[in-house]
Structure formats: structure tokens, C-alpha cells
Chain A
């Protein structure tokens, strides 16, 4: 679990100006499932899972996700953005325990 919060953000190797680019992002996270006791009742505690993901490109939010415990452990998310210029792409994950994890990539045109 020491890798928790590690983010890998992947972009295509070549991006031209104006391309609609597909990016893929993986984050290491347990996305805790609801537990049940022997009687089948839900164990009431504050489960730790990612509930919000935002994608910014050149400082603008291009997409975001609200996520629930029905998303897998170590989630993979993919999205698109229009490459209008060189600059940073950032994906930020927030979990229910208040932790924030970020993956960044530099968009280079050519």
C-alpha cells in the first residue's frame, strides 16, 4: 500500500495542434469496498475511495469525474482534450479521507 496515490498519465507520442487527444490515467488506490458483518449489515465507517477527479489543461478544467465505490481498485480513467498549444496536463484525484494525488504530463506539439 505504500504506492498509494502513485499516478501514471499517458499521452500519445505525437500530438499535432488541433488534435483531439486521448489520455489514459492510472492511480494506485484501494477504492475500499463496503464491508459487511456476519449478519450481512454494512459496516458503518468512513470508507476510503476516490470520489472526485479533475482534468486541467493549460490551467482550464476540460473534464472531471465523480466516482463511487463501484469503480475498480487502482482505477484507470481515460478522456479526451483538444490540443490547442504546448503546456501542462494535470489529473487530480481526491479521496474521501481528504488525500489528493496528482499526475502531470507536458503536452508537446510536433
Chain B
């Protein structure tokens, strides 16, 4: 295997003086599925947006497939696919029109594009509604269209920000299996999520970020050994929460019951 597919060095992002991502560095090899975990506001989405060229880092370098993202953003963007956490879709278009637009932006030949659109929509069970506007789709259906759009141009690297949001059980299983297959074929997958058990089962490596800094990086087994915890959930709790979660939940429930009483 040649050099790393993703190489991030001292990546930092400041928003009007607030430090969102603080000097993070990591490398990801081709074919790896890396889970990127962290509590709300830890800097996960900011990292993904910097890696996909949506946000410009305050400091640091990002190299994807040997190309510097800051110096050659268009070439890097041709090589990546991205599924955003929210929004990211023109709801007045039909699924077919949206995917057609995306394919054309990547200069896919029309016959290839048509074939792929039909194939993807069939795979996700959307072929019957492909000519209906996305505004009439459910959250899960939109998510399937976004996944199709991310894979349409056969990218080398896939960035997924909470990709299972709204998906039904069958589609979630399908996606997890699809990710494994894609990784086996050499695609690199950067998987950003809150759902710890999915990450535990799907990812070959886990990076945990807290308050903008990486607090853990390794396979689930390595992390379990290091933290002496039984599950990824326990590891996550130990690394990212300072107060006792059970106690907090108990106090909250008590205050709701008091209001009722």
C-alpha cells in the first residue's frame, strides 16, 4: 500500500476567537473505516467540513490522496464524497433531477449517469418515487438520496456525518454492509457519529474528540485495553464526561415530576 489516503496535521479552527478544533493530527490509510466520535459541540462536524473543503482551517494542512486540499481544492473535491448531517439538498427538485445535477457537476457521461442513478435509486428502493419532488420525501428517503449523491461519482474517500439519521432498520443494515464492501474495495471511509454501537461494529478504528482535541485514537480493542473499560460506550463516557450521567438524569427526571405534582 502506498502513502496514507488522508493526512491531517495540526488542524485548527477558530470561530471569532472560539477554538472549535485544536491542533488535531491523524493519518488514515486506504481502505480504513474510521469512526469519528465526540459529544455535541466537540468539533466533529467542523472537522468534517474542513476535510471536505467547505470550511477553511485557521491553521494546519489536509492532504487527501496526495493532494493538498488548500492548494488544489477542486482536484481533491473530485476524489471525495460527502453526506452532510443536515440540509444539503434542493427540496424543489426530484430525486432524479438532483442526482442528475450532481453527476453533471462531476462531468459524468450522460449514459453512465442515467444508469447509475437508476441503479442507486433501485438499491435504496426509491425507483417508484424518483420523479417526485424531494420536499415530499421523508427524512430517511432524503438521506438515501444524499448517500446516492455521495457515491455517484465513485469517490476514493467518503465522509459521512451521521449517515444513519432517519434510516429504517433495513436501510441501516444495507448501508453498514455497503460500507464494509466499499472499504474492502479500497475506499477510505470517515464516519462521524453519535451512535456508538454502530461505530463499534462497523469501524476498524475509532478517533474520539473532546473539546476540539483528540483524546483517543485506535482500534476498539486497543481502546478497551487502554481504558480498562468493557464497551465503547464506557470508554466514551470515561473520556468525555466529567460528571456522573446517572446522577444528572435522576435530577432531571425529579424536576419534571415535581412540575407535574
Q: Is chain B found bound to chain A in the same assembly? A: no
- B contacts, CB < 8 Å to A: none
